[in-house]
Chain A
Amino acid sequence: MFEVRLHGRGGQGTVLAAGILAKALVAEGKHVVAVPQFGFERRGAPVAAYLRASETPMRAMTNIYAPDCVVCIDSSLPRVVDIFAGLRAGGMLVQASRLAPQDIAVPATVATVAVCDAVGIAREVFGRPITNTVMLGAFARATGLVSLEALERALEETSFRDGGLAQNRRALALGHARTVVHRIGQREAA
Chain B
Amino acid sequence: MNEVVEKVAPLAEPAGKGMAQGTDKAVVKKEPTILVCDGNEAAAWGIVLSRPDMVAVYPITPQSSLAEYVAQFVADGVLDAELVEAEGEHSVLSVLHGAALAGARTYTASCGQGLAFMFEPYFRTPNLRLPIVMSIVNRDGITPQCVWGGQQDAMTVREVGWVQLFCETVQEVLDTIVMAYRIAEDRSVMLPVNVNHDGNYLSNGIVRIELPDQAEVDDFLGTPDVNWHAALDPDRPMGVDPLTGGATGPGPALFVGYRRGHCEGMQNALRVIVEVHEEWARRFGRRYAPLVEEYRLDGAEYALVTIGSMAGAAKDAVDAARERGDRVGLIRIKTLRPFPVDAMVAALDKLRAVGVVDRAVSYGWNSGPVHQETLAALQYCSKRIPCLSLIGGLAGADLTQAHFERAIAATARLLDSPCPRAPVWLNAEDR
Contacts and interface: CB of A to CB of B under 8 A. Distances in A.
Mutual binders A and B: yes
Interface of A: 15, 18-19, 22-23, 26, 31-36, 38, 40, 56-63, 65
A107 to B, nearest CB: 20
A15 B38 CA distance: 12
A31 B36 CA distance: 10
Interface centre among B1, B36, B147, B399 (most CB of A within 10 A): B36
Contacts of A59: 1-2, 169, 311-313, 315-316
B1 A61 contact: no
Contacts of A31: 208
Nearest to A20: B36
A32 B309 contact: no
B399 A19 contact: no
Contact of A61 (B36, B147, B208, B309): B309
A33 B400 CA distance: 14
B268 interface: no
B66 interface: no
A13 to B, nearest CB: 14
Interface of B: 1-2, 34, 36, 38, 147-149, 169, 200-202, 204-208, 309, 311-313, 315-316, 396, 398-401
A35 B204 contact: yes
Interface centre among B2, B205, B400 (most CB of A within 10 A): B205
Interface centre among A31, A32, A34, A59 (most CB of B within 10 A): A59
Given A33-B205, A35-B204, A38-B204, A61 B312 contact: yes
B313 A61 contact: yes
Contacts of B399: 62
Contacts of A33: 205-207
Contacts, number: 70
A5 to B, nearest CB: 14
10 contacts: A32-B206, A33-B206, A33-B207, A35-B204, A58-B1, A59-B315, A60-B401, A61-B202, A62-B401, A65-B400
Contact of A38 (B1, B149, B208): B149
A36 B205 CA distance: 7
A117 B375 CA distance: 59
A74 to B, nearest CB: 21
Contacts of B200: 35, 38
A60 B36 contact: no
B201 A62 contact: yes
Given A57-B1, A59-B313, A22 B206 contact: yes
B206 A19 contact: yes
A35 to B, nearest CB: 5
Contact of B205 (A26, A34, A65): A34
A114 B200 CA distance: 31
A32 B398 contact: no
A32 B208 contact: yes
A59 B200 CA distance: 16
A40 B147 contact: yes
A20 to B, nearest CB: 9
A22 B137 CA distance: 22
A185 B316 CA distance: 33
A15 B149 CA distance: 18
B204 A36 contact: yes
Question: Which 5 pairs between the two chains have the least Cβ-Cβ distance?
Answer: A59-B312, A60-B313, A34-B206, A56-B1, A61-B201
Contact of A26 (B34, B313, B315): B34
A60 B312 contact: yes
Contacts of A22: 36, 206-207
A110 to B, nearest CB: 24
Contacts of B202: 61
B80 to A, nearest CB: 21
Nearest to B399: A62
A18 B149 CA distance: 20
A62 B1 contact: no
A15 B206 CA distance: 10
A36 B309 CA distance: 15
Nearest to A65: B400
A166 B226 CA distance: 47
A40 B146 CA distance: 10
A65 B403 CA distance: 13
A40 B147 CA distance: 8
B16 to A, nearest CB: 21
A56 B316 CA distance: 13
